[in-house]
Amino acid sequence: MTSPSDLVDSLSAAVTAELDVFAPFITRPFRRPSAPWMTDVLRSECRARDRLFREARRLGSVDLMRRYRIFRRDLKERISRARTDYLSRSLEEQPDQAAVWRLLERHGVTASRSSSAVGRFTLAELNDYNRGVASVHQPCTRDQLIAIMEHTPIEVESRFSFSQVTATEINSVYSDVRRRSRGRSSDGLPLPYLDRIWTVLLPYLVRLFNFCLSSGVYPDAWKRAFIVPLNKIASPASPADTRPIVNLPHLAKIFDRLFTRQMLDYMESNELLLPNQFGFRSGHTMRSPGRLNSRRRKRLVKFTFFAAKSKPSSKNGGRSDKHTFLQRPKRALLPVDLSMTKLESAKFTEIRFAQAHRTKGKTAAASVVEHVQVSCTGPGVKLNRTRSPI
């Protein structure tokens, strides 16, 4: 029986062969680099210079050509002064040294530096480093893997199975992935090349995706990716100063979105995700924990209670309308839901409430920290679940 990997290889070979014969045309407009120092007066003088040159060529006049050369020399000097003045003002406005170098590179004063680290380190060095940081733990041994596979999982009532995808679902995901995918596809089939044949290719992709889901096999070609190491700093000294950018196959991105959506919908509908799971969830962002903590800190009020016992003051003529602390005020951080009954049983005769929120260290700060959880896909989903917050 043909496997999903064989079908993906056949698809790539067939589409690539057709693209070799009917290559798509791509239009790339070329524009002049921006020149903010060019004012309207200088642009009008440039047009006048061009008109003078055309007139001198048309008439073959030596006098007009001499006037053109003088006018061109003077205009070139004015443009050079305007450029120098603009750069001088702009350099003074830059906040730091890095912004200065970016400005000079943008306007062509200095040569632009390559953002790739391929020329600085060998591929073996980069591969060794990325292999070491790809996972937190070292690979398990064969005996450990056998023990993990023989372990009986915890029985749960819910059961999950993939459902068949439709052409409508694939089209909706395709539109989003097509807009976002700008990197190189490792299978040689970038989505911009498939626009003209997408309607013909769609029925085949429906059968291919459903076959992968029903068989539980992720194609081998979609497990490969191009990794572009970008520099974290201007002059990286080690592979640790690089950031690997992964360019996945574009068709694999569509497939990942489809089955990930099914699993997340199932887990959310069955309440299998914790409330503090923010990563890769619809309607949640990685800024949600910060906003949630801010709201909780505003709602969480700690009260500092100053307890005092009623006692006649000798300085007050024996009257008891004033309260004298027998000792330094005892500060007790009590729960917010502490009832007045408990306070009365403690014989507190005076209670002063002080909100401890944002009191500049007068009381202990609340320890309410959300543990941000994320889930990753392609080809599998790893769900980190934490029962208790930090």
Q: Where are the domains of the chain?
A: 4-29+114-280+328-337, 40-107
Averaged pLDDT for residues 191-220: 90
pLDDT in tens, 335-371: 333 333 333 333 333 333 323 333 333 333 333 333 3
Q: Which residue has the higher pLDDT, 245 or 325?
A: 245
- Can you tell me which residue has the tokens 């309410």? 368
Contact partners, residue 315, CB within 8 Å, separation at least 6: none
Cross-strand partners of 376: 382
- Residue 127 above 60 pLDDT? yes
Quote the pLDDT of residue 210.
93
CA 33/CA 56 separation, integer angstroms: 29
Cross-strand partners of 373: 277
The two tokens of residue 161 are 């199975």
CA 218/CA 298 separation, integer angstroms: 48
Q: Which helix (H) or strand (E) holds 139?
A: none
Task: Classify residue 233 by its DSSP letter.
Answer: S
Q: Which residue has the higher pLDDT, 28 or 325?
A: 28
Q: Three-class SS of residue 128?
A: helix
Confidence of residue 133 (pLDDT cuts 50, 70, 90): low
CA 130/CA 244 separation, integer angstroms: 8
Q: Are 306 and 356 in contact (CB under 8 A)?
A: no
- Could you give the residue ranges of the DSSP H alpha helices within 270-323? 288-299
pTM of the shown model: 0.54
Contacts of the segment 232-241: beta carbons below 8 A, 24+ positions apart: 234/113, 236/117, 236/120, 236/121, 238/129, 239/117, 239/121, 239/125, 239/126, 239/128, 239/129, 239/130, 240/129, 241/117
Amino acid at 31: R
Q: Which residue has the higher pLDDT, 299 or 86?
A: 86
Q: Among 5-19, 106-120, 257-271, which is the least confidently predicted range?
A: 106-120
Cβ burial of 382 (10 Å; 0-12, 13-18, 19+) is: exposed
Q: What are phi and psi of 177, to 5 degrees?
A: -65, -35
CA 187/CA 225 separation, integer angstroms: 8
pLDDT in tens, 8-43: 999 889 988 888 888 777 777 777 778 889 999 999
Distances (CA, A) of 361 to 26, 301, 307, 351, 356: 62, 14, 21, 21, 9
b/e per residue 100-110 (b: at least 16 CB within 10 A): bbebbeebeee
Which of 37, 31, 28, 151 is closest to 88 using CA atoms?
37
Which of 38, 69, 73, 40 is closest to 52 using CA atoms?
69
